[in-house]
Each structure stands twice: as C-alpha cells, then as structure tokens.
C-alpha cells in the first residue's frame, strides 16, 4: 500500500478515535457551558456547541446543516481525489491532507449526528478568548500548517 494511503488510514483512525472519544467524554461529563480551569488565565476545558463554522459563522442560518454537511463531503472527496494524484516523494503533503481529511470527517460526524459541533478546548489570555475548538479542528489546523510548509518547500525547490 502506498505511503499516502497508509498515512490516510492511520491518521484518520487516530484522529477520529481521539476526536470522538473526547467529544463523548465532554458531552457525558460536563454540562453545557461548564468550564474547568487547566492553566490559570491561559487554558480551560469548556463545553460549548458550535452551530456554525469557525467563529460561529452562519450559526443562525436556516441552511447551515445541509450547507456544512455538503461542504465537508465535497472537501473530503476533493482531498481523496487530490491524494490519488500525489507523487511518491510528497510525503509531507500526504500527511497534511490526511490530517485535514480526518478533521473534516470528525466534525462532519457531529454535524450529521447533532446538527452542530462539540467544542471544548478553550485557549485564552486572561479575558481574551480564542473561540473554543476540538481535536478535529486541531488536526485541520496542523494539516493546513504542514500544507503551507510543503508549498513553501516546493517553491524553494523550483528556484534551485
């Protein structure tokens, strides 16, 4: 099995298991909006539900659930299509796309199951809070970061 597919399977299993297990734990042990301080003035576990996208975009829109399910499905299919086209040496890109895919599927499961996404990681600096996020969001963010590094490295290779 080529590296790109091994990475997709391994990363998807790990990210989806961790994402769904942590969401199940938070949903079963915390009340909505309950918060537990982990690092004073920096990090909390806070149970929230996000009906929208990042930063609550489209949270009150009537078409939000079918829209987000459709976008997640299209993005996932697009990633799978693109993954097929990678060259053997594009390992970092395969890893990046696998992380983005797994994160998209993790949040897609919530949207299909609940119509919204469970978030609970609450990073902040005193009263200045970043929107709460989850393991799937983290996988997407790391994947996008790796994708940017790969694009930068590819550009450098072209110049040499």
Sheet holding 128-129, edge to edge: 35-39, 43-50, 117-125, 128-129
Q: Is 137 tagged catalytic?
A: yes
Q: Is 27 tagged catalytic?
A: no
Annotated active-site residue in 110, 119, 122, 150:
119
- First-to-last alpha carbon distance for the chain, in angstroms, is 32
Helices (H), 1-118: 3-29, 64-84, 91-114
Annotated active-site residue in 19, 110, 122, 137:
137
* Cβ atoms 116, 59 nearer than 8 A: no
Active-site residue set: 119, 137
């Amino acid at each position: 099995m080529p590296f790109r597919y091994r990475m997709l399977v391994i990363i998807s299993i790990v990210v989806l298991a961790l994402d769904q297990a942590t969401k199940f734990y938070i949903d079963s042990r915390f009340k909505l909006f309950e918060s537990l301080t982990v690092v004073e003035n920096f990090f909390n576990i806070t149970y929230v539900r996000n009906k929208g996208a990042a930063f609550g975009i489209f949270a009150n829109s009537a078409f939000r659930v079918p829209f987000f399910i459709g976008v997640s499905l299209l993005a996932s299919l697009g990633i799978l299509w693109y993954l097929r086209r990678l060259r053997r040496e594009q390992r970092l890109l395969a890893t990046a796309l696998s992380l983005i895919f797994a994160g998209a599927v993790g949040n897609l499961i919530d949207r299909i199951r609940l119509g919204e996404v469970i978030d609970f990681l609450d990073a902040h600096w005193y009263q200045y809070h970043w929107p709460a996020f989850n393991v799937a969001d983290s996988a997407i963010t790391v994947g996008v970061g790796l994708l940017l590094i790969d694009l930068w490295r590819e550009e450098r290779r072209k110049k040499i």
